A and B are shown apart, each in its own frame.
Chain A
Amino acid sequence: MIKAILIFNNHGKPRLIRFYQYFAEDMQQQIIRETFHLVSKRDDNVCNFLEGGSLIGGSDYKLIYRHYATLYFVFCVDSSESELGILDLIQVFVETLDKCFENVCELDLIFHMDKVHYILQEVVMGGMVLETNMNEIVAQVELQNRMEKSEVSDQ
């Protein structure tokens, strides 16, 4: 199970947060801060796994992250997920964002948080991996966007 997905930038500013377990807002912020603190002090050439995020879960949970340019993508997962599998999933997610936004950059995420959420919803649902095939994900996202557009033009 995936417990949480956090995207924040090099300064720790959250760009997307998605908790699959309930935490109150202040707790969520604290988790983001702690995670940022843990992740940001690591070099880029060290491994992408981290234990010891004390706020979520405990010893069964791991932080698996990737760092792209200005953004950190952090998944907090338990031991039922494959570490390398989740790394691949992050890659799939980012590539999907890249396709949907055409050369995605931090600004896209800043201004279109809702859209990023909709894309993520096609990848992970309720903490479980829903789809790993990028083409399928992109197709579903586009169909929904088209539906939205048709509704706008109806007005």
Chain B
Amino acid sequence: MALKIVKGSIDRMFDKNLQDLVRGIRNHKEDEAKYISTCIDEIKQELKQDNIAVKANAVCKLTYLQMLGYDVSWAAFNIVEVMSSSKFTYKRIGYLAASQCFHEGTDVIMLTTNQIRKDLSSPHQYDTGVALTGLSCFVTPDLARDLANDIMTLMSHTKPYIRKKAVLIMYKVFLKYPESLRPAFPRLKEKLEDPDPGVQSAAVNVICELARRNPKNYLSLAPLFFKLMTSSTNNWVLIKIIKLFGALTPLEPRLGKKLIEPLTNLIHSTSAMSLLYECVNTVIAVLISLSSGMPNHSASIQLCVQKLRILIEDSDQNLKYLGLLAMSKILKTHPKSVQSHKDLILQCLDDKDESIRLRALDLLYGMVSKKNLMEIVKKLMLHVDKAEGTTYRDELLTKIIDICSQSNYQYITNFEWYISILVELTRLEGTRHGHLIASQMLDVAIRVKAIRGFAVAQMATLLDNAHLLTGNTQRNGICEVLYAAAWICGEFSEHLEDPMQTLEAMLRPKVATLPGHIQAVYVQNAAKLFATVLRKHEGETDSHAAQETSQLLIDRLPLFVQSANLEVQERASCILQLVKYIQKLQQKKVEVAEEVTALFAGELNPVAPKAQKKVPVPEGLDLDAWINKPPSESESEDEKPKAVFAKEEPKHSRSRHTEVDEKELARRREARKREQANNPFYIKASPSSQKVYDAPGVEHIPVVQIDLSVPLKVPGMPMSDQYLKLEEERRQKEKAERKKEKKKKREKRGKERKADSGPESEEDIAPAHQVDIVTEEMPENALPSDDDDKDPNDPHKALDIDLDKPLADSEKLPVRTHRPEVLKSPAEDRVNESIPQETKKRSGKEKKEKKKGKEKDRKRSKEEKKKKKHKEVEEELLESHPEEAVQSEETKEAATPPTSTSAEIKPTVHWFPVQKSSKHKKKKQKKEKEEKEKKKKKRHHHHHHHSNAGGEDSVQNGTVEEEEPLPPMSNYFLLAENSYIKMVYDIQGNHQDESKVVVSVIFENKSDSFLKSMEFNVLDSLNSKLQRPEGAGAHDSLTVPFQLPPGISNEAHFVFSVQSIVMPQKLKGTLTFIVKSDESSTHEKLDFKLHFTCTSYLITTPCYLYDAYAKLLESGDLKGSSLRLEGINMPFHHLLARICFHHHFSVVERIDSCASMYSRSIQGHHVCLLVKTSDQTVSIDAKCDEPSLLGNVLDEIKQTFSKC
């Protein structure tokens, strides 16, 4: 044995190690490939040996060769062997090699499952670490499924090093095995509060990555992240969280409002540029999501733009780049704030760094307006001339075209100018974008009818000077524009001044050197020109000119007939024969022009590029149905495709189209027609409207003198500049005119405005000539939506999973069993999971339906109420309320056993209370019909709703299973009562305002009469005052905003301002009202005492982190006090629930019969309780920074329990 080891190590001495290999390769620069192939042969030999050290060395070398591009997958099995070595050194080599070259298609991966599992549970943390690292690179769906449970266990490993790796790899596991997300999520969430910053950061990382793809499922985590954001000092974590918020805000505008302040603070305070930049970015996202409402945005926008300006002006190119990048985001929603920095951005166009220039170009795109388009394009044209390097110049060219053509040529006031720009661009040498210019020329000429005359003239010049474009063989790209030029001249030849000359230009011998498809267009359009010439000379006594034209064609066309290009050849020979025939007729003096023109009659309409795609599938046509019976497949293949098909079907976009019924289609068609009718750019295709249009359109064009004899390459001033000058003059003239005729012009201006969709400031720039842009044609019934950008293959789609639903029993990570049972297919799993859950958890809606009709009614009214509440002031909504939506249903059915498990994921705190939760607010006016039900219901609601504040906390602690449900509780206390009316009230504070509390009073009519003109008044004290509307006296009463029919109750809110909150207080008050019965009406009054307890100044504030809580207690700022309650005869969790409910506390932590609780006053005092119980005695140790407040709260707690 010993001999063998010695022999092994001697062998190894002669082997090459990695360093030798590298050295060897460096010494064989000439014949590297050959040298490496001999090395690979050596490696193959080494891999055959038994010695694991030799193998590992070989694998290590292979990893290096892999980097050089050699495929080493043939050694996959050897890599697995090395991975399974017991020595860390070799194991590490094996895993490294695996992570570099294994992928989902590597079949030996199947063999690794058990090895990896063994390594994951190894006692040595680095074995585990190495396995995790390796696995993160080559995890497959099978590995993910088999190992998910093991990895999840590692998330709670004692070593933070393992924990953070396990947390990170979970993301990969989720991607490959989406079913694991829900079971693993609670633990992942826990890790957000891990004591180790590295683990915490990893958890943030994973959740951010998940949330980025499916943000809506993670909204409930927002409060937690918000807290992390305000407490964390790790910039990495902060950046991630802030980026995450950027993704969440579009879904929840209220979150955005909360964020602005802390983010602004960070922007002001941080010195880290990366953090500052991300803050600015997220503020921008917030502002975009809030773009309506909120008047005080402008300050934030200004701040962002200012900070970005500083970045852009910085000498650091990176900051400059990022500044521009962020600026372009603001541009989309707040173009005005960016436009004021035009100078800076234009300056960046001159930057030496291409990335920066490109970013600046992007910004320009959004900064143009009718006013400055010409000016900006002029500047860009200068850059085009200066630019060295074709890529940047091409980029400029496309940007110019993008800028001008954006939103249907919205900013172009003068199309003649645009055509000249396009013509100037044809002078660019060696651009790849000839086709782009050509398509713009075609598009403009076809869609802007008024410009055709001018365009044709320009194109004719272009054709005439074609040699300038084609002279250099390198300019191939640009000759594409000749395609457009020829087509335009031919199609709109009626506008040509001298068709003969153009015809001549199109048939020059040089044309034969152009690419085939262009020649083909030349030939075809020559025929069109020919027709025009014939018609022009028709009726003239001297038919000489017409005959000359025919002769010209007959002379020149044979050149094209010989073309190697089939298309050219075919067209040329057809046309040649045709012309020959025409010539014969001409000689017989037959008038042929009419017939020849008929060859090219009719106008082409532009068709939208997406038109084909948008043709809806006709009803009854199933594109997926088999036309013939499918061929019978072998059985083994049968299973798989079926499953895939069934799974994908619901996503199929086509099947959705057919679902749209006829009515809907008709409605859409109608809507589209309406829209077209209102769109000034749209012209209906009917010939009559065209005529109407044509006549004034052409007249309308002001005659601009352009000397067409001037060759294209004018030294000095380029042509488009003339337009710039003209435009300026025109605008000035217009301005002057407008001043004169201001009053009279009302009507006309109105018209202009209609055509002008630009921003207000531009309204006074009228287009140089009224221009109509024909919209592209779309098929009938085309669907307006554009849902084709989503990638159906996105792996993240599978992770769109609702995480707030409690876990079902069936949702477990597969655990290894001795004999693995046949695994269920994921599809089956999903069905299992959805059945129990759907019925249980769908926020009680379905449940209700199963109940009696009475319940149904309740639901209806509840929903109605919900809708009404939507309208209520948002401030009110921002109060924190214990959430009950789902649970209230559960407690209602006290008999059914609680279904939640300890792993339940649930939004514990509601920072943005869901509408349902704000039960206190009742809409003032209600339909009488509903009133009765509501009265009953209201009670119920309050009971269930609040009892859950406690219930939920115990759920958090995982103890709810054994405990019985809570008795109903109500927070409403009797205020006063007589034979007519009963008033109960509740007092609530909120964090928004430290000096205000809201008193909610429910008025219940006990009599048979109608109660009206209710007036509510209290005698203010120095400390507490009823808030009366402005202008009202200090003793005026407030009118209750509703009347009460018999037996009805309703709720009103009164706001009180308070100064000191450390003492309880009572305010005397009176309610006056008129009792109106059939016979008489009497004036009644009822006195009451409003009791402001100290409890009512406390607000349920959850405390997430036990650490923070402990710190607070240790800080020494708090003063203590204690309380003993004897003879308490209720379960501990009921006791806690009562404290939570009646005194607005929340449970921080509960261990057996001991719990710590926390609450905060509206003025920010912390109140901490430690509640312990042992046989009927409850001791409460309390701490608070305000002793008298604490004393009073304790007294009140004592009272609460003495009552029961």
27 A-B pairs, CB-CB below 8 angstroms? A18-B100, A45-B317, A46-B354, A46-B355, A47-B353, A47-B356, A51-B358, A82-B277, A84-B322, A85-B236, A85-B239, A111-B18, A111-B19, A111-B22, A113-B67, A117-B96, A121-B96, A121-B133, A126-B136, A126-B172, A130-B165, A132-B201, A132-B236, A136-B198, A147-B89, A148-B92, A151-B88
Considering the complex, which residues of chain B in the window 972-1015 have a beta carbon less than 8 Å from any beta carbon of chain A?
none
List residues of chain A with CB within 8 A of the CB of B201. 129, 132
Please tell me which stretch of A24-32, A67-75, A96-104 contacts chain B, meaning at least 4 of its Cβ atoms lie within 8 angstroms of it: A24-32
A128 touches B317 (CB 8 A): no
Q: CB-CB contacts of A76-97 with B at 8 A, as 1s and 0s?
A: 0000101111011000000000
Q: How far is the CB of B1151 from chain A (nearest CB, A)?
A: 33
Q: Which of B104, B126, B133, B320 meets A125, CB within 8 Å? A: B133
Considering the complex, which residues of chain B in the window 96-120 have a beta carbon less than 8 Å from any beta carbon of chain A?
96, 100, 103-104
Q: CB-CB contacts of B70-97 with A at 8 A, as 1s and 0s?
A: 1100000000000000011100110010
Q: Which of A20, A80, A84, A111 meets B318, CB within 8 Å? A: A84
Nearest residue (CB) in A for B164 is A130
Nearest residue (CB) in B for A110 is B22
A131 within 8 A of B: yes
A46 and B353 contact, Cβ closer than 8 Å, known pairs A129-B205, A130-B202: yes
List residues of chain B with CB within 8 A of the CB of A18. 100
A47 touches B320 (CB 8 A): yes
List residues of chain B with CB within 8 A of the CB of A28. 69
List residues of chain A with CB within 8 A of the CB of B205. 128-129
A54 within 8 A of B: no
Q: Which of A88, A118, A125 meets B136, CB within 8 Å? A: A125
Q: A47-B318, A84-B318 are in contact. List 19 more A-B contacts (CB 8 A).
A: A18-B100, A29-B69, A45-B352, A47-B317, A48-B318, A80-B208, A82-B277, A83-B322, A111-B23, A118-B92, A121-B96, A126-B168, A127-B136, A128-B171, A128-B202, A130-B165, A140-B161, A147-B88, A151-B87
Considering the complex, which residues of chain B in the window 16-52 have a beta carbon less than 8 Å from any beta carbon of chain A?
18-19, 22-23, 26
Nearest residue (CB) in A for B161 is A140
Q: Which of A26, A47, A133, A140 meets B355, CB within 8 Å? A: A47
B96 touches A114 (CB 8 A): yes
A114 touches B171 (CB 8 A): no
Q: How far is the CB of B86 from chain A (nearest CB, A)?
A: 10
Please count the residue pairs between chain A and chain B whose beta carbons lie under 8 angstroms apart in the complex: 144
A113 touches B64 (CB 8 A): yes
Q: Which of B26, B96, B126 meets A143, CB within 8 Å? A: B126
List residues of chain A with CB within 8 A of the CB of B212. 80
A1 and B209 contact, Cβ closer than 8 Å, known pairs A46-B352, A47-B353, A117-B96: yes
Q: Which of B67, B126, B132 meets A144, CB within 8 Å? A: B126
List residues of chain B with CB within 8 A of the CB of A25. 66, 69-71
Nearest residue (CB) in B for A82 is B239
* Assembly CA distance A22 to B89 (angstroms): 26
A138 within 8 A of B: no
Q: How far is the CB of B1103 from chain A (nearest CB, A)?
A: 29
Nearest residue (CB) in A for B213 is A80
* Assembly CA distance A114 to B17 (angstroms): 12
List residues of chain A with CB within 8 A of the CB of B161. 140
B355 touches A148 (CB 8 A): no
Q: How far is the CB of B974 from chain A (nearest CB, A)?
A: 56
B103 touches A22 (CB 8 A): yes
* Assembly CA distance A13 to B6 (angstroms): 39
List residues of chain A with CB within 8 A of the CB of B710. none
A16 within 8 A of B: yes
A83 and B67 contact, Cβ closer than 8 Å, known pairs A121-B133, A136-B198: no
B67 touches A16 (CB 8 A): yes
Q: CB-CB contacts of B202-230 with A at 8 A, as 1s and 0s?
A: 10011011001000000000000000000
A83 touches B318 (CB 8 A): yes
List residues of chain A with CB within 8 A of the CB of B23. 111
List residues of chain A with CB within 8 A of the CB of B239. 82, 85
Considering the complex, which residues of chain B in the window 155-208 have a beta carbon less than 8 Å from any beta carbon of chain A?
161, 164-165, 168-169, 171-172, 198, 201-202, 205-206, 208
* Assembly CA distance A94 to B1126 (angstroms): 67
Considering the complex, which residues of chain A in the window 30-67 have a beta carbon less than 8 Å from any beta carbon of chain B?
43, 45-51
List residues of chain B with CB within 8 A of the CB of A22. 103-104
Q: Give B contacts to A, CB under 8 Å.
A: 5, 9, 18-19, 22-23, 26, 60, 63-64, 66-71, 87-89, 92-93, 96, 100, 103-104, 124, 126, 132-133, 136-137, 161, 164-165, 168-169, 171-172, 198, 201-202, 205-206, 208-209, 212, 235-236, 239, 243, 273-274, 277-278, 317-318, 320-322, 352-356, 358
Q: Give A contacts to B, CB under 8 Å.
A: 1, 14, 16-18, 20, 22, 24-26, 28-29, 43, 45-51, 80, 82-85, 87-88, 110-114, 117-118, 121, 125-133, 136, 140, 143-144, 147-148, 151-152, 155
List residues of chain A with CB within 8 A of the CB of B103. 22
List residues of chain A with CB within 8 A of the CB of B67. 14, 16-17, 113
B165 touches A50 (CB 8 A): no
Q: Which of A29, A43, A125, A129 meets B236, CB within 8 Å? A: A129
A84 touches B273 (CB 8 A): yes
Q: How far is the CB of A60 from chain B (nearest CB, A)?
A: 11
A128 touches B353 (CB 8 A): no
Q: Considering residues B69, B70, B93, B124, which has the most beta carbons from chain A within 10 angstroms of its beta carbon?
A: B69
Q: How far is the CB of B318 from chain A (nearest CB, A)?
A: 5
List residues of chain B with CB within 8 A of the CB of A155. 5, 9
Q: Considering residues B137, B172, B321, which has the most beta carbons from chain A within 10 angstroms of its beta carbon?
A: B137
B132 touches A113 (CB 8 A): no
B355 touches A50 (CB 8 A): yes
Nearest residue (CB) in B for A80 is B212
List residues of chain A with CB within 8 A of the CB of B243. 80, 82
List residues of chain B with CB within 8 A of the CB of A29. 69
List residues of chain A with CB within 8 A of the CB of B321. 47, 49
B317 touches A151 (CB 8 A): no
Q: How far is the CB of B927 from chain A (nearest CB, A)?
A: 50
* Assembly CA distance A18 to B26 (angstroms): 22
B274 touches A147 (CB 8 A): no
A126 touches B89 (CB 8 A): no
A49 touches B198 (CB 8 A): no
List residues of chain A with CB within 8 A of the CB of B202. 128, 130
B198 touches A151 (CB 8 A): no
* Assembly CA distance A66 to B911 (angstroms): 43
Would you list the 4 A-B pairs with minimal beta carbon distance, nearest first?
A126-B136, A84-B274, A47-B317, A46-B353
List residues of chain B with CB within 8 A of the CB of A1. 209
* Assembly CA distance A150 to B93 (angstroms): 16
